[in-house]
Amino acid sequence: MNICVIGTGYVGLVTGCVFSDLGNEVICVDNNPEKIAMLDRGEMPIYEPGLEELVKRNVEDRRLSFTSDAAAAVEHSDVVFICVGTPPLENGDPDMSYVQSAAKTIARSLNRYKVIVNKSTVPVGTGNMVREIIETNRRRTVDFDVVSNPEFLREGSAINDTLEPDRIVIGAPNQVVAMKILELYAPLERPMIITDVASAEMIKYASNAFLATKISFANSIANICDAVGADVLQVIKGMGMDSRIGSAFLNAGLGYGGSCFPKDSSALVRTAEKNGYDFALLKAVIDVNKAQPVRFIERLRSAMNGSFKSKTVGVLGLAFKPNTDDMRDAKSLDVIAALLADGATVKAYDPIAIENTRAIFPQICYTKNAYETAEEADALIIVTEWNEFKLLNMEKVKASMATPLLFDGRNIYDPVKVRRLGFEYHCVGRTTAAVK
């Protein structure tokens, strides 16, 4: 099948690669000519494990190509995927301008029947909006259908999530159209659910909002554990063994970030408001998430005698999660901003995301590795749980620090072991009394 994918971000590029790997002819479109030039040279505009190899293989086999000529790509294709960004506006609504622009481009290039697939994360009603835009702007009286097919990718494991999804959701106006998209996914042999368009759009927001709720719940429990002397890791382990609850997304720490949970939670709150419902529960989830890094920084400030002024603080981990270079809503941004505002000197290291962070904080010192970050530091903070940080020689780390003060925002160390080495160790929801 001939496929056009509009947008070459995480979703678009991974979607295009996987469909081409399944034997389809795929054209990925982006209005940024520099990004297209990079892809034509075999350079990836994003970091995602395995992506470069997948792109190279399918380009060499002539199943995958890149262009900024959206009109030609749409005309050539049977199915057009909209995979553009929907970043949050100041009021919490998603910015729909990129989706609207893509719909207008499709309308002007519609030359025969096509299925238009919304894969971007969009609010309920977007399918109708896209249909209206195409109907209004098409130059030929050509039929088409609009389908919702939300993505459920996790950055860092996006390729595997596309090849082995828990479920494939297809929201279509009728069964005939649904079967056309089902045919595309059939080689994956994964569970599929066919719904109406509005329900498919809602499934995406509801899923992300619920996962965000689990994270904020775990952090709330961790804060209580700090107060009562319990160990949140043991609490969560006990909770997660209940099949009705499960252990996924119950990790306590600095809160959620990234491109999905923050904006999708806010967007769902806005959707509820527009339809006369006060989603108080989800508002509380968002509030807990915003407060978590603030609480963490205040604990650090207290441990450093009330001020960061003239202190050197090392930050390990910058990306919002491991195995990505994505800085969108990364908790490191909150931490670094607070440290700088109070006069600290900040040293930072991340295996992948240094250059992206440098564009935001050019004034801080970026190091070559974790050990260099720890040298002469008055405190060391773990912000992102990269595996290499879990395997550090902690004796070497301690010996190089000015003060062995370790704040673990992701609970990656054994409190007993690091305290025996002489660290003053602070984590999330695991008090000294709980781990002796």
pLDDT in tens, 194-220: 999 999 999 999 999 999 999 999 999
Which pLDDT value is given to residue 317? 98
Q: Distance between CA atoms of 27 and 72, rounded to whole angstroms?
A: 10
Backbone angles phi, psi at 127, to 5 degrees: -55, -45
Q: Which fold would CATH assign to domain 2-195?
A: Rossmann fold (3.40.50)
Which pLDDT value is given to residue 435? 46
Helix, strand and coil content of the chain, in percent to the nearest 5, comes to 45, 15, 40
Which pLDDT value is given to residue 434? 47
Domains 2-195 and 227-435 in one fold: yes
Q: Distance between CA atoms of 430 and 234, rounded to whole angstroms?
A: 9
**SS3 label, residue 59:** helix
Which pLDDT value is given to residue 431? 74
Residue ranges of the chain with per-residue pLDDT less than 50:
433-436
Which pLDDT value is given to residue 16? 96
**Contact (CB, 8 A) for 123 and 108:** no
Residues 6+ apart with CB under 8 A from 30: 6, 7, 8, 12, 36, 66, 68
Which pLDDT value is given to residue 402? 97
Nearest to 72 by CA among 132, 2, 177, 131: 2
Q: At what angle do helices 197-228 and 126-137 cross, to 10 degrees?
A: 140
CATH code: domain 227-435 is 3.40.50.720
Residue 140, exposed/middle/buried by CB under 10 A (0-12, 13-18, 19+)? exposed
> So which residues are the catalytic ones?
260
- pTM for this structure? 0.92
Name the residue ranges covered by the structural domains of the chain.
Answer: 2-195, 227-435
- Output the DSSP codes for 165-194: -S-EEEE-SSHHHHHHHHHHHGGG---EEE
